[in-house]
Homo-oligomer: A and B are copies of this chain.
Amino acid sequence: MQRKTISVIGARACGPKVAKLAQAVGRMVAELDCILVCGGLAGVMQEACRGAKEAGGLTIGLLPGNEKSDANPFVDIALPTTIGFSRNVIVAASAHIVIALPGSYGTESEICYALVYGRPVINLGGWKVKGMIKAKGVEDARRIVKKLIKK
């Protein structure tokens, strides 16, 4: 039976507050026995992977370039895509559920693609894009994820 995957998206650089949030989201993903998918680089991606590893989870990094060594140290399975930031489409589409933390244009492109391809997107980043599912915090996001993965 297929494993459930959750993509965690957000900025390549983040301050301590967002880092803490990303770690908590990563832990939650692992605790729910889901696989964490991300873009494999630094910032939100790295902190989410760190959290997932702390909770014994498995992490996948879909890298823009050609080198496995581009991945952050908490990525278990580094998948170099070679297609540049077009890999954002795959980060979005390859998950059952997307969780969006604060980020910039790249993150927003992932949100848009998730919605184009019909993936539920949980909003933990103050995003204004219509069609997302607003969560008040990590525990609220956990509740939403639990409901969605039961389907």
When C-beta atoms are compared, the residue in chain B nearest to A118 turns out to be B66
| B contact residues around A5 at 8 Å (CB) | 77-79
Give the distance in Å from the alpha carbon of A83 to the alpha carbon of B90 in the complex: 8
Instruction: State which size class the interface on A falls in.
Output: 35 or more
Q: Which residues of A87-125 have CB atoms within 8 Å of chain B's CB atoms?
A: 89-90, 93-94, 96, 105-106, 108-109, 112-113, 115-118
B77 in contact with A82 (CB, 8 Å)? no
Is the CB of A60 closer than 8 A to any CB of chain B? yes
Min distance, Cβ A130 to any Cβ of chain B, angstroms = 9
When C-beta atoms are compared, the residue in chain B nearest to A117 turns out to be B66
Give the distance in Å from the alpha carbon of A71 to the alpha carbon of B79 in the complex: 18
A86 in contact with B83 (CB, 8 Å)? yes
Question: Lowest 8 CB-CB distances: which A-B pairs, in order?
Answer: A79-B94, A109-B112, A105-B112, A83-B83, A105-B115, A86-B89, A82-B84, A108-B112
B75, B77, B83, B93: the one contacting A66 at CB < 8 Å is: B93
| B contact residues around A106 at 8 Å (CB) | 112, 116
Q: Indicate the member of A3, A82, A131 with the most B CB atoms within 10 Å.
A: A82
**Given A86-B86, A90-B82, residue A3 in contact with residue B112 (CB < 8 A):** no
A96 in contact with B112 (CB, 8 Å)? no
When C-beta atoms are compared, the residue in chain B nearest to A106 turns out to be B116
Is the CB of A51 closer than 8 A to any CB of chain B? no
Q: Indicate the member of A78, A108, A112, A118 with the most B CB atoms within 10 Å.
A: A112
